[in-house]
């Protein structure tokens, strides 16, 4: 599942592949930008912003979001793609490689000066150079919803998805339905930062420190299985800001109170 660490690695891979090169092929297969052409412009950089990708080309920014299925892959020029062509929504090619975005969402092309219109609403970025733990904690404490909902709101802090939310609350011993204003927000944010930074450069995400299959998660997707700490069966429910934004929540009724 693409979360902040996945987006960070994707941006780094794209930056290494195309930054500094001139665009030789440019296609956006979305109606709004179907005629856009940045051929001849230089790719300045590719950076992550929470779960968003910003590819700065010339004086423009190509913005995309991976959502659930999206991915950016890099191929040598002329190499056969490892995904169906009909899934490609963006192609940024240089003389040597093609960067192709498959099933990506929120595809936008805006002047770089207007980037904030797309990502300015995001809270402090856990993997960003301007990470502000105090501000993130302040925003969580000001949220009157359940803590699981609050830490998934990208306006409070950017980069956490549902897997991180479940694992983070287990490690901190917090029941997911606890009001956000009642938790140790500073401690929660500090643990979140350590978690995502530890996973940032790993090939396989783990929260337990164990990379063996079935041992990487404390609670996420482990409904009815014994807690790895106390043996109590893991429970499952759903929480969300609205009915249409509910996420599956997993917790240990003994370790999280």
How does pLDDT run across 186-241, given as a tens digit for each residue? 999 999 999 999 999 988 899 999 988 889 999 999 999 999 999 999 999 999 87
Q: Does 243 qualify as catalytic in the annotation?
A: no
Residue of 3, 27, 115, 167 with catalytic role: 3
Give the C-alpha separation, 250 to 220, whole Å: 6
- Whether pLDDT at 243 is above 70: no
Tell me the C-alpha distance between 117 and 142, whole Å: 24
User: Which residues is 105 bridged to in the sheet?
Assistant: 65
Lateral strand order in the sheet of 105-111 = 43-49, 52-57, 60-65, 105-111
How is the chain split into domains, by residue range? 2-118, 131-249
Instruction: Provide the token pair at 152.
Output: 């998934």
For residue 51, indicate whether it is catalytic: yes
pLDDT of residue 139: 98
Read off the pTM: 0.93
**Annotated catalytic residue, options 2, 48, 124, 176:** 2
Q: Exactly one of 49, 51, 56, 145 is catalytic; which is it?
A: 51
Integer Cα distance of 59 and 29 in angstroms: 20
Using the CB atoms, write b or e for 180-194: b if 16+ within 10 Å.
beebebeebbebbbe
| CATH C-level class of 2-118 | alpha beta
List, as one string, the DSSP characters of 177-215.
TSBGGGS-HHHHHHHHHHHHHHHTT-SS--SSS--STT-
Concerning whether 2 is annotated as a catalytic residue, the answer is yes
Q: What is the mean pLDDT of residues 49-56?
A: 97
Which residue, 150, 161, 177, 153, is CA-closest to 251?
A: 177
How confident is the model over 62-89, as pLDDT tens digits? 999 999 899 999 999 999 999 999 999 9
Q: CATH for 131-249? A: 1.10.8.50
Catalytic-residue membership of 79: no
Joined tokens for residue 31: 């109606």
């Amino acid at each position: 599942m693409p979360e902040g660490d996945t987006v960070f690695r994707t941006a780094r891979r794209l930056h290494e592949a195309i930054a500094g090169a001139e665009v030789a092929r440019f296609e956006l297969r979305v109606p709004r930008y179907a005629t856009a052409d940045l051929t001849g412009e230089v790719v300045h950089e590719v950076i992550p912003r929470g779960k968003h990708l910003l590819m700065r080309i010339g004086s423009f920014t190509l913005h995309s979001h991976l959502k659930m299925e999206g991915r950016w892959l890099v191929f040598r020029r002329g190499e056969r793609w490892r995904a169906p062509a009909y899934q490609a929504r963006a192609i940024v090619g240089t003389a040597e490689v093609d960067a192709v975005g498959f099933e990506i969402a929120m595809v936008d092309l805006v002047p770089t000066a207007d980037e904030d219109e797309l990502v300015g609403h995001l809270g402090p970025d856990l993997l960003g150079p301007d990470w502000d733990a105090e501000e993130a904690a302040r925003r969580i404490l000001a949220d009157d919803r359940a803590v699981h909902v609050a830490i998934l709101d990208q306006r409070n802090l950017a980069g956490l998805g549902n897997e991180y939310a479940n694992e983070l609350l287990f490690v901190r011993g917090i029941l997911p339905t606890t009001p956000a204003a009642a938790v140790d927000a500073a401690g929660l944010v500090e643990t979140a930062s350590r978690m995502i930074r530890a996973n940032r450069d790993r090939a396989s995400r783990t929260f337990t420190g164990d990379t063996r299959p079935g041992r990487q998660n404390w609670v996420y997707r482990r409904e009815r299985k014994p807690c790895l700490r106390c043996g109590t069966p893991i429970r499952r429910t759903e929480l969300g800001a609205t009915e249409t934004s509910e996420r599956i929540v997993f917790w240990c009724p003994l370790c999280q109170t």
